[in-house]
DNA sequence: GAACGTAGCAGAATCGATTCTGCCACGCAA
DNA sequence: TTGCGTGGCAGAATCGATTCTGCTACGTTC
């Protein structure tokens, strides 16, 4: 009978092949042997825990790097009870690929992905989960919830199983919760409105959506405040969250019937802004001379419209990265600054400034 | 049946708080005790391995379900040498959020995410990785590479560390590799061209991109074949992969100068098609009466254009799900059918058929 | 009736990290 | 000199699953 091979120290002559056996990665034990130290010392040296002689530490780090040591995530996780991954849910409600602001969300996820990767953690894309049972099947160390609206089932599910949460924009259902990352929407909206006024507008209308998320709600509120402060009558309409071209055109139509006719429009989303500009082209209404248009969110489509649309860049990659950072701080129980506000910038383009 | 207390007595009055202690999940040992069986038997019963008496098996499954047992992923992974996650890289090259076909990619990732979740595996979003070292920091069980072009560094990196790969569309750099999922692009292109001809077109032009990915290359090739078969002169132009509105308008301009002027355009991407239709509106060229337009990829923007654009729906969610399935089969060494072709459907709309 | 094979299960080893426990040597104070 | 505290490290326990080994009871075959 052949004695069971307890794993030889021999080099695998063919390391490229995804062997049928266990992958022959360098273990902490190998580092310890090569450095002439105990496993515990190597672990302490690499993690900065315990007390290790500086000389010993140096030697261990050198050996580990030479051997190309990478800790086994499962072993570490088993001991520390960490999954080594964060979750991100781009939509907590919509079925299929019906995510609302596609470009924003993809850039958001990209930024979060990079930030997690830098910490050697995985960012996993979670499908919409509604119940505690579903959420319990794949438990990340923490979760980022985007596009969250009132009474969100996903938030409740993760709350119940004790997974730390950070939301993108404040959760309208939990106004006291400070663990969120997003924009200073009131300020951004006012900046946009001020810009429109500075370009000569006198009657500024507003097109938002009927979504109940914080961004949408806050922006509309800020618009009304801004108007009231100036003694202007607000002229606001909303489109359904599907924001189809037709719906946007109809909303625009309602605004154009107003008397006096607005000479500027603050459109909350890129999709609305693009549809509005296109429709104005069809109606032969000159942008920006007869009507200025500004978008509350920037992206390719706004930048490439004809004319290019002035837009507020919310920097979604930064938002994603900040969400990951805040989430780790929450997981680790650190009492850091929150919420985390990402400053937006206004990209002035022809739709408000005319040909440059 | 006795209500078995997993772990020690319940001393956490605030289950929402992420406890500082180890999470109190049910372990296989708890199931074994409650069912009066050995851990090994429970494991065999749950995994369908070894030989377990049907009665015992039944009892164990019942107990496990009652206790809400969910296996610890780290412990399992440590033993089986699996990460329990797949990676997906939406762009192997572009920096930042410059993914090309945003809507397609987000739906692709959504489909893959669901499919992985159903197997209790995580789908992790990987940032663009170019080197073996980068890829070694976070090693998934397998990886899906989308938007792959010739001489792709990401493919090489994962190949070197032995991570199984499935690509979205064939890898133009490895034509013999069959582990890919995608569309039957030649057939789809011909279907679109046939549709244009069936609606009365006689001179069909083509606008593609200069990307070197298989989809782009194959479609252009199919167009030329199709023309040759019919003795028609191909009229094809390309736009840079940025596909800005301006670039698309210029490409269209070149086509309109041709004599005879085309009466139909096959536009490869949704972005091109939308830009073309908009530009035609500006030029007062009637769609579809003077010029029919068809898009090689469907999405919201095509469906909501004015007029709505006939488009080929590539069913990206299905592609993503199939990619996950094929990847698992590759990981498990199964010799299953490959490549996996997802049948596309043609959504006929007004841009070719006129008002319905 | 003895020998043998096998289904079913219990017990223990194992994966590779972190972390607890305890030993040793050394420095300093009494 | 003796005693005590402590830095540094070795050894071993531990996390929770899978899987190997071997025992027992039962049936079958000669």
Residues 6+ positions from B292 with CB-CB distance below 8 Å: B196, B199, B200, B201, B263, B264, B265, B310, B351, B352
Q: State residue B51's pLDDT score.
A: 85
Report if CB A256 to strand C is under 7 Å: no
Q: What's the pLDDT score for residue B98?
A: 60
The β-bridge relationship of strands B340-341 and B345-347 is: unpaired
Can A28-71 and A185-313 be said to share one CATH topology? no
**List of E strands, chain A:** 85-89, 122-125, 142-145, 165-168, 180-182, 204-209, 235-239, 264-267, 292-295, 310-313, 340-341, 345-347
Bridge-based pairing state of the strands B310-313 and B345-347: antiparallel
Considering only CB atoms, A317 lies closest to which of B96, B122, B246, namely B96
How far B123 CA sits from the closest chain A CA (Å)? 5
Distance A51 CA to D4 C1' (A): 21
Q: How far apart are CA B135 and CA B288, in angstroms?
A: 49
Closest C1' nucleotide to A38's CA: D10
Sequential pLDDT tens for chain A (356 residues): 223 333 333 333 333 333 345 666 899 999 999 999 999 999 999 998 888 898 899 999 999 999 999 999 999 999 999 999 999 999 877 654 466 788 899 999 999 999 999 999 999 999 999 899 999 999 999 999 998 888 889 999 999 999 999 999 999 989 899 999 999 999 999 999 999 999 999 999 999 999 999 999 999 999 999 999 999 999 999 999 889 888 999 999 999 999 899 999 999 999 999 999 989 988 999 999 999 999 999 998 899 888 999 999 999 999 999 999 999 999 999 999 999 999 999 999 999 998 65
Are B217 and B172 in contact by the 8 Å Cβ rule? The answer is yes
Contacts of B140 in chain A (CB under 8 A): 122
Cβ–Cβ gap A85/B85 under 8 Å: yes
Which of A323, A282, A293 shows the shortest CA–CA distance to A107?
A323
Distance measured from the CA of protein residue B60 to the C1' of nucleotide C9, in angstroms: 13
Give the nearest chain A residue to B304 (CA atoms). A245
For chain A, domain boundaries: 28-71, 85-182+318-341, 185-313
User: What is the band of B20 on the pLDDT scale with cuts at 50, 70, 90?
Assistant: very low
DSSP state of A15: T
CB B82 within 8 A of CB B119: no
Closest CB to B85: pick one of A15, A122, A282. A122
CATH no. of A28-71: 1.10.260.40
- The torsion angle over the Cα atoms of residues A16, A21, A25 and A30, rounded to 10 degrees, is -130
Average pLDDT, integer, range B272-300: 94
Q: Is residue B304 over pLDDT 50?
A: yes
From A158, which residue of chain B is nearest by alpha-carbon distance? B16
Q: Which of B58, B64, B57 is nearest to B33 (CA)?
A: B64
Kindly list the residues from chain B whose CB atom is less than 8 angstroms away from the CB atom of residue A19. 162
The topology (CATH level 3) of B185-313 is Rossmann fold (3.40.50)
Q: Which CATH architecture has domain A85-182+318-341?
A: 3-Layer(aba) Sandwich (3.40)
Inter-chain CB pairs, A–B, below 8 Å:
163
3-state DSSP assignment of residue A345: strand
First to last CA, chain A: 85
CA distance readout (Å), B338 to A17, B112, B166, B281: 21, 17, 10, 44
**Residue-level pLDDT at A1:** 28
Specify the CATH number of the domain B85-183+318-341.
3.40.50.2300
pLDDT for A276 equals 96
Band of pLDDT at residue B10, cut at 50, 70 and 90: very low
Residue B22 has pLDDT above 80, yes or no: no
Cα–Cα distance, B335 to B320 (Å, whole number): 20
Going A222 to A227 to A233 to A239, the CA torsion angle's sign is negative
Q: Which residues of B are less than 8 Å from A24 in CB distance?
A: none
């Amino acid at each position: 009978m052949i004695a069971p091979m307890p794993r030889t120290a021999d080099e695998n002559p063919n390391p490229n092949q995804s062997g049928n056996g266990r992958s022959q990665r360098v273990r902490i034990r190998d580092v310890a042997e090569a450095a002439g130290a105990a496993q515990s010392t190597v672990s302490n040296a690499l993690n900065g825990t315990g007390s290790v002689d500086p000389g010993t530490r140096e030697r261990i780090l050198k050996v580990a790097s030479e051997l190309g040591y990478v800790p086994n995530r499962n072993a570490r996780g088993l001991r520390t009870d960490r999954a080594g991954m964060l979750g991100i849910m781009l939509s907590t409600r919509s079925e299929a690929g019906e995510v609302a602001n596609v470009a924003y969300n993809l850039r958001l996820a990209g930024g979060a992905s990079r930030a997690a990767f830098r910490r050697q953690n995985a960012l996993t894309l979670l499908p919409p989960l509604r119940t505690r049972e579903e959420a319990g099947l794949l438990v990340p160390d923490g979760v980022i919830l985007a596009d969250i609206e009132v009474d969100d089932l996903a938030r409740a599910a993760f709350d119940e199983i004790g997974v730390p949460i950070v939301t993108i924009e404040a959760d309208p259902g939990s106004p006291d919760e400070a663990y969120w990352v997003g924009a200073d929407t009131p300020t951004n909206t006012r900046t946009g409105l001020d810009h429109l006024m500075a370009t000569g507008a006198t009657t500024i209308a507003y097109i938002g959506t009927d979504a109940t998320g914080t961004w949408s709600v806050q922006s509309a509120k800020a618009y009304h405040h801004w108007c009231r402060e100036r003694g202007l009558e607000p002229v606001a309409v909303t489109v359904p969250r599907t924001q189809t071209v037709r719906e946007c055109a109809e909303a625009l139509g309602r605004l154009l019937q107003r008397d006096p006719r607005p000479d500027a429009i603050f459109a909350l989303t890129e999709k609305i802004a693009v549809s509005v500009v296109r429709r104005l082209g069809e109606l032969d209404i000159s942008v920006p001379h007869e009507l200025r248009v500004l978008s509350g969110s920037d992206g390719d489509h706004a930048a490439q419209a004809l004319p290019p649309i002035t837009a507020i860049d919310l920097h979604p990659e930064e938002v994603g990265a900040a969400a990951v950072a805040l989430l780790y701080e929450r997981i680790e129980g650190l009492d850091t600054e929150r919420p985390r506000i990402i400053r937006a910038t206004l990209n002035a383009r022809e739709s408000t400034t005319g040909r440059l």
